[in-house]
Amino acid sequence: MKSGNKRKAPSDQVSELTTNRLSIYLRCLNRLEQAGVDTISSQALAEQFHLNAAQIRKDLAYFGEFGVRGVGYYVKDLKLHLRKILGLDRKLRVAVLGAGNLGQALADYPGFGREGFEIVAMFDTAAEKIGDQSRSGVPIYDIRDLKKMARRERIDIGVMAVPAEAAQSVLDMAVAAGVKAILNFSPGAIKIPLGVKLKSVDLTVSLESLSFYLAQGGEGE
């Protein structure tokens, strides 16, 4: 029992929409802290993005009572709570699977470093890439060594950016290596075993949804 929270339950049915928003709140709190703001109300926070204040309070209420009535939330305090809830109170070790253009760009993406993620390795099949490293110095290993390395390097999260044909087999390797969470940029459907979390970003789908908007003549928001 770390803090005196009246918790709903360990993590009873928190939707992904909620956890995504927690991330966004945290980013905002970082800025607020930087700006020297001490407390913030759900109302003021909601205005930053276009969100409803009750939504924010509900999101937070899943994890405890962090606010003070009549005052709002203490920025520093809430930030710490959110970091803990999101598991960002420890360094998370990330491996990028696939050292192509996109993989290398992701490995060097500065945004990841900022919130405690550490990109420790890339993996690829191409002999000429293995032994090389990315611009920012992330070493590229043979994907066949993934299992060995993932354990040795204690990889928490995999970021997968490989061609669609390779995606399932690379995912299976990552799972066999004990990686429990994967952010996937490869297109197409992928099967995962229970107990492993896959989050997919599908660039083609995203672009096509914009195309749809344009094709429909862009009515509404």
Binding residues vs its own copies (CB under 8 A):
10-11, 14, 16, 19-20, 22-24, 26-27, 48-49, 84-88, 92, 94, 101-102, 104-106, 108-109, 111-112, 114-115, 117, 135, 156-157, 159, 180-183, 187-189, 194-197, 199, 201-219, 221
With vertex at residue 182, the alpha carbon angle to CA 179 and CA 185, rounded to the nearest 5 degrees, is 145
Residue 182 binding partner per list its own copies, DNA, none, with a CB distance cut-off of 5 to 8 Å that depends on partner kind:
its own copies
Which residue is listed with tokens 């809430």? 78
How many CB atoms are closer than 10 A to CB 127? 8
Residue 42 binding partner per list DNA, its own copies, none, with a CB distance cut-off of 5 to 8 Å that depends on partner kind:
DNA
CB 59 to DNA: min, Å: 8
Give the footprint of DNA on residues 25-54 (CB under 7 A).
Answer: 40-43, 51-54
Residue 129 binding partner per list its own copies, DNA, none, with a CB distance cut-off of 5 to 8 Å that depends on partner kind:
none
CB 70 to its own copies: min, Å: 27
Give the footprint of DNA on residues 107-136 (CB under 7 A).
Answer: none
Residue type, position 119, single letter: I
Are 195 and 116 in contact by the 8 Å Cβ rule? The answer is no
Q: Which helix (H) or strand (E) holds 194?
A: none
Interaction between residue 81 and DNA (CB under 7 A): no
Are 42 and 74 in contact by the 8 Å Cβ rule? The answer is no
Question: Which of 106, 100, 105, 108 has the alpha carbon at shortest distance from 129?
Answer: 100
- Selected binder of DNA within 18, 30, 48, 125 (CB under 7 A): 18
Interaction between residue 60 and DNA (CB under 7 A): yes
Distance CA 49, CA 212 (A): 25
Interaction between residue 67 and DNA (CB under 7 A): yes
CB 45 to its own copies: min, Å: 11
Residue 15 binding partner per list its own copies, DNA, none, with a CB distance cut-off of 5 to 8 Å that depends on partner kind:
DNA
Are 158 and 181 in contact by the 8 Å Cβ rule? The answer is yes
How many CB atoms are closer than 10 A to CB 132? 14
Burial class (CB in 10 A: 0-12, 13-18, 19+), 206: exposed
Tokens of 68: 């003070």
CB 182 to DNA: min, Å: 21
Give the interface with DNA as residue ranges (CB under 7 A): 6, 15-18, 40-43, 51-55, 57-58, 60-61, 65-73
